């Protein structure tokens, strides 16, 4: 019998407040080349060791489509 490894895919979507472009915060291509999770910060906020993710935040996000810069506060499940 063969054994394989599973893959977990996580996406964190939001709409640009200026143009409505659908952005995945975990994809550098969507945030104009910036890795907002390079140190695991976003995923740690998404899955905190204790408490809730009510304090989720990500600053200085730039939309790939219209180049608008904005901050993110809150995470809807």
Q: What is the DSSP string of 4-64?
A: ---------EEE-TTT--EEETT-TTTTTT--TTTTSHHHHHHS-SSS-STT-EEEEEE-T
Q: What is the pLDDT of residues 61-73, one digit of tens each?
A: 999 999 999 999 9
Residue with tokens 């659908």: 22
Banded pLDDT at 54 (limits 50, 70, 90): confident
Residue 77 pLDDT more than 90?
A: no
Residue range 5-26: average pLDDT?
97
Residue 51 pLDDT more than 80?
A: no
């Amino acid at each position: 019998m063969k054994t394989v490894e599973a893959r977990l895919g996580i996406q964190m979507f939001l709409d640009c407040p200026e143009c409505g472009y659908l952005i995945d915060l975990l994809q550098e291509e969507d945030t104009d080349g910036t890795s907002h999770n390079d140190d695991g910060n976003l995923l740690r906020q998404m899955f905190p060791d204790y408490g809730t993710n009510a304090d989720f935040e990500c600053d200085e996000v730039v939309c790939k489509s219209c180049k608008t810069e904005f901050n993110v506060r809150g995470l809807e499940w």
